[in-house]
Structure 1
Amino acid sequence: MYEPVSEDYPNYYNSWASSILKADTKSPQKYKGFSQGEGNPEYVKWSCQYSPSSLIDKDPRTAWSEGVPGDGIGEVVIVRIDITKPIKIWNGFGRNEKLYKENNRPKKIKIHGFVALDCSPAAMSFASYSRFRYMDSYEYELSDKNSYQPLTISDSILKKYYNTKDELVSKGKGESFCNFSDEVLSFLVIEISSVYKGSKYSDTLISEITN
């Protein structure tokens, strides 16, 4: 998996979800030519307004939205986050109370924990993570409120994570560029199991997941 270090490349997060809602507002001007094609930052940010990058921008006015017909049951989104620290989640579309109620909010989710065993600098502006080890999964129910709420990590995932990091630190880096002592190598896969129904739309959104 590739992760950009710049906010100008939210499109690289498109593979961090099983689906993404298409942009639904007017696009900025799309320039012609090699240096000013669809890759210009304004257009890229517009086209990726519902991508997983919106989960980690520390702005609850933006959100990831699944993009399949219906309520998005079974759709997933991935975040890299430090599971050893407290985690909070902003459920639904947090831009305002009207949009929050009009759109679906996840009710029950299934949380899958993974840890990356290999890292490498894929390019100057990106890092890559690979060879993931599965830790565990558990069901979790979210409250229906337009604000942050705690996201508690299961003891089984934490135990396996610490055991894995101890194992990796003792072995050393080998050919990996991971800093197993300090780097955040834990990943959560959030799977939608059920929703609080929106009054107008069937899109299911999550605005933020952060420490």
Structure 2
Amino acid sequence: MNKNLILILIFFTTNIFSQSIKTISAIQGKDSDYFEYEDYDENQNPIGKLEFLKGCSWYCGGSVTEIIVSSELKEQNGIHYSPKNAHDFDKNTAWIEGKPDYGIGEFIEYRFDFKNYNGGLGINKILLTNGYKKDKTNWKNNSRVKQLKMYINDKPYSIINLLDSFEIQTIEIDKIMFPSNKMTKLRFEILDIYKEDKFKDTAISLLMFEGIGVH
């Protein structure tokens, strides 16, 4: 085959593929919009720890059936870094990938399997706290995600550009509906990172959702 024709075919194939995957940029949010203290005393001083999505949210009806990851950092001093930490409503825990480098190519995958319901549940926004948000020292010492690749049922959906921010950020996505009695998988693969001050380990403290069909 003519070399010029091969180059043209490669160019158009690459161009079509790249156009099919859109790029989404995260929007800076405020922790105060999503985190609230357990209670307040008579002088309005906070009591207890900060709670994420306190009160009613999409999770009043929506849920995640299973979370799997390609790797996780081994437990250290009684602290674990499992995938459930990214979906436990707690900013003080985190999923941290377990590769010896920065974790490029590692992923976290959410599986939704709604049984015995008539449909109508879906998500349209991702809520993400980047890095290890336990405190500023841990956040700086560990790497954060700069770019994710999102898949729906193993098919590429979008490239997500994240902010190197201690506070929460949101990602607006198209409406993704969950059918009944059929599993839907959302995978988030690490493509690039913001480098750490001390540890190469890349962390996500919260990756959760807002959606429709609950209220």
TM-score (norm 1): 0.58
Query: Structure 2 matches for 1:11-160, cutoff 5 A?
Result: 16-25=68-77, 27=78, 46=79, 49-80=80-111, 83-114=122-153, 134-153=154-173, 155=174, 158=175
Q: Contact conserved, 2:124 with 2:172, CA < 8 A, in 1?
A: no
Deviation at 1:79, TM superposition (A): 2.1
2-structure distance, mates of 1:16, 1:66: 12
Larger gyration radius, structure 1 or structure 2: 2
Whichever residue aligns with residue 190 of structure 1, its letter is F
Distance 2:184 2:99 in 1: 27
2:68–2:109 Cα contact (<8 Å) kept: yes
Whichever structure has more strand as a proportion of its residues is 2
Aligned partners of 1:60 and 1:95 also within 8 Å:
yes
The residue that corresponds to 2:197 in the other structure is 199
| Count of residue correspondences | 137
Aligned residue identity for 1:72: G
| Structure 1 residues 60 and 83, CA gap change in structure 2 (3 angstroms) | farther
Q: 1:142 to 1:152 in 2, by over 3 A?
A: same
Q: Deviation string for 1:13-49 (max 9, x for gaps)?
A: 6x71110100111x4xxxxxxxxxxxxxxxxxx5xx2
Structure 1 residue 57: Cα displacement: 0.5
* Offset, 1:187: 2.9
The alpha-carbon distance between structure 1 residues 60 and 196, as it changes in their structure 2 partners (threshold 3 A), is same
d(CA) in 1 for partners of 2:107, 2:207? 14
Note closer, same or farther for the CA distance 1:135–1:71 as it changes in structure 2 (3 Å cut).
Answer: closer
**Whole-Å separation in 2 of the counterparts to 1:108 and 1:52:** 18
In 2, distance between residues paired with 1:188 and 1:79?
A: 5
- 1:186, CA displacement in angstroms? 3.6
Distance 2:127 2:188 in 1: 13
Equivalent AA in structure 1 for residue 197 of structure 2: S
Cα-Cα RMSD:
2.5
Preserved CA contact (<8 Å) 1:18 1:77: yes
Structure 1, residues 93-144: CA drift from partner, whole Å, max 9, x if none? 0000111011000001111112xxxxxxxxxxxxxxxxxxx45421111001
Q: Is the 8 A contact 1:83 1:186 kept in 2?
A: no
Q: By how many angstroms is 1:147 displaced?
A: 1.9
Distance 1:203 1:74 in 2: 13
SS at match of 1:152: strand
Paired with 2:195 and 2:161, the residues of 1 have a C-alpha distance of: 15
Letter in 2 for 1:54: N
Aligned identity (percent) is: 31
